[in-house]
Structure 1
Amino acid sequence: MHDTTPTQQPTETNRIYGGLVSARGLDLDQFESIQTQVHAWTTEAGTGVKFVETRGLPIVDIVLRFKAGTVQDTAHTGLAALTLYMLDEGSQQYTATQQAENLERLGAIVEKQIRLEHATLSLRSLSTQAVLGQALAVFTDLVARPAFPTSALDKIKPQLLQSSASRERHPVLRARSEAFRHLFSGHPYGSPLGNTEQGVTAVTTDDLRTFHQRAYSASNLEMVVVGDLSLAEAQTLSRQISEALPQGWLATDLPTVPAPTRATLHVEQPGASSAVLLALPLNVPANDPQFPALLLASDVLGKGLESRLMVELRQRRGLTYGVHTHVLPLRAGGLFTTEWEVAPAHVQGSQELVVALLRDFIEQGPTPAELRVARKQLEGQLLRSVAQNKRLAALLTEFTHHRQPEDHLNTYIERINRLTPADVRTAMQRHLDLSYTVQVSVGPSVEQQPLPAPHQ
Structure 2
Amino acid sequence: MTVVKRFGAGAVLLLAMAAPAWAALPIQHWVHASGAKVYLIESPVIPMLDVEIQVDGGSRRDPALQAGLASVTAGLLSGGVAASKGQPALDENQLSEAWLDLGAQFGAGASGDRFTVSLRTLTQPGLLQNAVALAARQMASPAWPESVWQRDRERMLAALKEAETRPGTIAGRAFAKAVYGDHPYGAETTSESLNAIGVADMQAFYRRHASACRAQVSLVGAVNREQADRVVGELMAAWTPNGCEALPSVPEVAPLPAAVDQRLPFDAAQAQVLIGQPGMRRDDPDHFPAFVGNYILGGGGFVSRLTTEVREKRGLSYSVYSYFSPGLHAGAFQIGLTTRPDQAAQALEVAQGVLREFVAQGPTEAELQAAKEYLVNSFALRIDSNRKLIANLSNIAWHGLPMDYLDTWTDKVKAVSVADIRRTFAKALQPERMVTVVVGGRP
Q: Is the 8 A contact 2:136 2:237 kept in 1?
A: no
Deviations 1:339-388 (A, max 9, x none): 11111011111111111111111111112221122223433554212221
Q: 2:237 aligns with which of 239, 243, 250?
A: 243
Q: Which structure 2 residues correspond to residues 424-439 of structure 1 after superposition, within 5 A? A: 424-439=421-436
Q: Does 1:212 align with 2:206?
A: yes
**TM-score between the two structures when normalised by the length of structure 2:** 0.89
Which of 222, 231, 235 is the equivalent residue of 2:225? 231
Q: Name 1:347's counterpart in structure 2.
A: 344
Q: Does the 8 Å CA contact 2:171/2:438 hold for their aligned counterparts?
A: yes
Match of 2:406, SS?
A: helix
1:72 to 61, 68, 72: 61
Equivalent of 2:36 in 40, 47, 64 = 47
Using the alignment, how far apart are the partners of 2:246 and 2:40 within structure 1?
22
Q: Which runs of 5+ in 1 are unaligned?
A: 1-27, 447-456
Instruction: Note closer, same or farther for the CA distance 1:269–1:139 as it changes in structure 2 (3 Å cut).
Output: farther
Partner of 1:264: 261
Instruction: Name whichever of 418-427 and 216-225 sits farther off.
Output: 216-225
Distance (Å, rounded) in 2 between the aligned partners of 1:73 and 1:432: 28
Q: Secondary structure at the match of 1:409?
A: coil
Q: Distance in 1 between matches of 2:255 and 2:416?
A: 30
Give percent identity, aligned residues only: 25
Name the CA distance, whole Å, in 1 between partners of 2:66 and 2:337: 34
CA positional deviation for 1:256: 2.0
C-alpha displacement of 1:31: 3.4
Letter matched to residue 213 of structure 1? R
Cα 1:165/1:142, change in 2 over 3 Å: farther
Q: Could you tell me how far apart the structure 2 residues matched to 1:430 and 1:394 are?
A: 29
Residue 13 of structure 2: aligned partner = none
For 2:191, the equivalent position in structure 1 comes to 197
Name the SS of the counterpart of 1:269 in structure 2. coil
Kindly provide the amino acid, as one letter, of the partner of residue 130 in structure 1.
G
Contact 1:175 1:275 in 2 (8 A): yes
- Picking from 112, 118, 142, the partner of 2:114 is 118
Counterpart CA distance in 1 for 2:378 and 2:272 is: 27
Which residue does the alignment assign to 1:371? 368
| Structure 1 match to 2:8 | none
Q: Is 1:35–2:31 an aligned residue pair? A: no
Q: Who is 2:133 aligned against?
A: 137
The more displaced of 198-207 and 224-233 is 198-207
TM-score computed with the length of structure 1 as normaliser: 0.86
Secondary structure at 1:408 match in 2 = coil
Q: Select which of 171, 183, 208 maps to 1:187.
A: 183
Deviant stretches of 4+, over 4 Å: none
One-letter amino acid of the structure 1 residue matched with residue 214 of structure 2: N
Report the secondary structure of 2:349's partner residue.
Answer: helix
2 CA distance for matches of 1:324 and 1:29? Answer: 32
Instruction: Please report the RMSD computed on the Cα atoms of aligned residues, expressed in angstroms.
Output: 2.0
1:147-166 matches, cutoff 5 A: 147-166=143-162
Structure 1 residues 72, 305: closer, same or farther in 2, change over 3 A?
same
Report the CA distance shift for 1:119/1:269 in structure 2 as closer, same or farther (over 3 A): farther
How do residues 349-428 of structure 1 correspond to structure 2 at under 5 angstroms?
349-380=346-377, 382-428=379-425
Tell me what 1:324 maps to: 321
State how far apart, in whole Å, the 2-side matches of 1:340 and 1:222 are: 37
Contact 1:33–1:413 at 8 Å: present in 2 too? no
- Report the CA distance shift for 1:259/1:418 in structure 2 as closer, same or farther (over 3 A): closer
CA distance in 2, matches of 1:63, 1:162: 31
Deviation at 1:32, TM superposition (A): 4.4
Deviation at 1:396, TM superposition (A): 1.6
Q: Which amino acid aligns with 2:413?
A: I
C-alpha contact (below 8 Å) 2:71/2:110 kept by paired residues: yes
Q: What is the match of residue 60 of structure 1?
A: 49
